[in-house]
Each structure stands twice: as structure tokens, then as C-alpha cells.
Amino acid sequence: MKPVKVWDPAVRLTHLAMGVLVLGAFLTAEEDDTLPLHMKLGLGLLGIVLFRVVWGFVGSTHARFSDFVKGPKTVLTAMRAMVRGKPDHHLGHNPVGAVMVVTLLVLLGVVTLTGITMGLGPDWSGPLAMSKSTLHAVKEVHEGAAGALPVLIVLHVLGVILSSVLERQNLIGGMVTGFKRADDGHVEPASPGALRLTAGFLMALVLAAAAVFGLWRVLPVSEAAAAPALLSTYEREARAESPAFTGFDAARGRTLYFSEHPTKNGPTSCATCHAADARQPGKSPVGKRIDPLAPSANPDRFTDAAKATKWFDRNCTQVLGRNCTALERGDFLTYLSSL
């Protein structure tokens, strides 16, 4: 048995990154405040998966799908050999492990793509027009696939441990160091040349980076993108409210912000609580500090569509005695964004 370099650095790093990003995505999945981070992690994960898939065609010998993806017959034969406790020695992934590798990659693709679809959908105020029921279906798939991940990951780890025992070599260590032991008679197939590997690496990198950066700009992950994303939701709603809608107007939003209305607490405007200068902190009637409402002073503002809706409903009802229209919300946000 001699040590042979099997896993190139790209395989090992993407493997590690997938583990870390999946864990991070799970830890940030439930809470509203961690949603932007969850989306960033998911987007990173999509990039890693894309890179790994391309690398599976242009990478080093054992990184390639053609090296380890085998037909059902070979998989069954390898499974029987494992059950007998005498697995054939495969220098790359064994055919059974390969089924898991492909399943995990497909599942990660489904989870990240459905997650991004949700981010682009109306629920999270993105630019993708989708009906509520479609979005709901996408959400179900996202959560179902994400729920299957831990189960498969546990099976994957158990499979690796079992194979390590059967093959009498440390496969987990191999994925860290890149080395595995080969039979003495093993002849390693010629690796693709350095030039082709470099070109393949750059291609995989550029494709994955282009996808991530393109989506980064349209998804409400960055605070700068969030307010305009919410604005496009209001715009759609305003158009539905009135066919005569031609656009939002900061001046009308300003008027709404400052106009006083009689309430049970006396004449009240939005500025009563939110400060005349919306870049400054405001104060509630009981003296509690309210963080600035203008996104330029408080990047967290209007990054969460559900929160914005809740407060528009509450505060408009309190001040105006009725809900604000989509036109008013859009004008209001346009005014605040101009500050």
C-alpha cells in the first residue's frame, strides 16, 4: 500500500465549505433577524455547489463525475461486496459513496435554488412576480429538501465510517490531507495537464462567481437592495389599486409624514414619534427611543417586508384612522429613502 494524492485542494475546500455553510444555514433558518445572513450563506452555498459541479467535469482525475459515477449494476456489485465485508478498493469515491455524493449535490442545488426563488418572490419583497400558492409550493420544497439534508448527511458520515473500517483506511483524514493508500500494483491514470486544470478551475470559478454576484444584486441580502425591493412590491400593489398609477413621489410622502390628524392623544403625525428629521431617533408617547426611520441612518429599516407591513398597518390606523394605501406606503418610503 502506498499513499497517493487523490483529492485535489478544490475538492477538499468545497467539501469543507459545504459542511460549514450548511451548518450556518441551519442555525440562521428560523429567525427573522438572521434571514439576510441565511440568504447570504445559501447564496454562498449555491456558488460552491455550482463550482463543484463544473469542477466535476473539468477538474483533476478523481474530482470528475466520470471517475466515480457508475451504473446501477456496478453500484449493486459494490454494495454486495461491502455487505460481504470485502469492498473492492476504489481510489476515488466508491460507487456506493458516489450515489450519496450526487444525491447530496442535487439536494443542495434544490435547497439553494428554491431558497433563492423565495427570496425573489413577493413574500420577501423581491422582483419575481409569483402567486402566493406558487410561492407556498416553493417554500414546501425548500423546507422538505432542507429537512432531508441532515438525514442524508448522517447517512453519508456513517457510510464513510463503515467504508473506513472495511477498507482499513482513514477516509475522513483522506478528505483533509488529500491522500489515500493505493494497492501496490495500482497505476494512477494520467492527470489532465496543468494548463487544462488551470483553465477549468478559472472557468468554474468565474461561472460560480457570476451567478453569486448576479443574484446578490437582485436578492434582498444587501441592505441597499432591500428598500428598492420593497418599493417594487408597493409599486405592483399600487398599480393594482389604481390603473392611473404613474409612480411614487417623495413630496407626497413628505406631506404624509408631517400632516397632523386629530387622535385621542391630540393632533398627531408620523413625525410626532419618528422625529421631524427621520434620520434622527424618535420617541414614543411613553418616552421610549425609536431608532431612525430613514434607511440612510438605519440600514435595518425596510429590510423585512413583514415588519414594515405590520407597522404601517398599526401606525397608519393610529394616526389616520385607516390603513395606508400602497401608494401612500410607496410615497412614504420614497421620501425616507431620499433623506
Cβ 73 to ligand HEC shortest distance, Å: 58
CB 100, CB 130: distance < 8 Å = no
Q: Decide: helix, strand or coil at residue 3.
A: strand
The one-letter code for the residue type at 331 is D
Residue 115 or 282: the one with the smaller Cβ distance to ligand HEC is: 282
- Give, rounded to a whole angstrom, the gap between the first and last alpha carbons of the chain: 70
Angle in degrees, CA 32, 110, 19, rounded to 5: 70
Beta bridge partners of residue 4, listed in sequence order = 180
Residues that bind ligand HEC (CB under 6 A): 268, 270, 272-274, 284-285, 290-291, 301-302, 307-308, 311-312, 315-316, 318-320, 332
Cβ 336 to ligand HEC shortest distance, Å: 8
Cβ 25 to ligand HEC shortest distance, Å: 24
Cβ 235 to ligand HEC shortest distance, Å: 16
Residue 272 or 337: the one with the smaller Cβ distance to ligand HEC is: 272
Residue 177 or 259: the one with the smaller Cβ distance to ligand HEC is: 259
- Calpha distance 231→326 (Å, rounded): 10
The one-letter code for the residue type at 50 is L
Residue 37 or 290: the one with the smaller Cβ distance to ligand HEC is: 290
How many CB atoms lie under 10 A from the CB of residue 150?
12
Which three three-digit cell numbers place residue 127?
422582483
Cβ 245 to ligand HEC shortest distance, Å: 19
Residue 201 or 312: the one with the smaller Cβ distance to ligand HEC is: 312
Cβ 214 to ligand HEC shortest distance, Å: 27
Residue 50 or 308: the one with the smaller Cβ distance to ligand HEC is: 308
Burial of 339 per CB tally in 10 Å (0-12, 13-18, 19+) = middle
Which three three-digit cell numbers place residue 94?
466508491
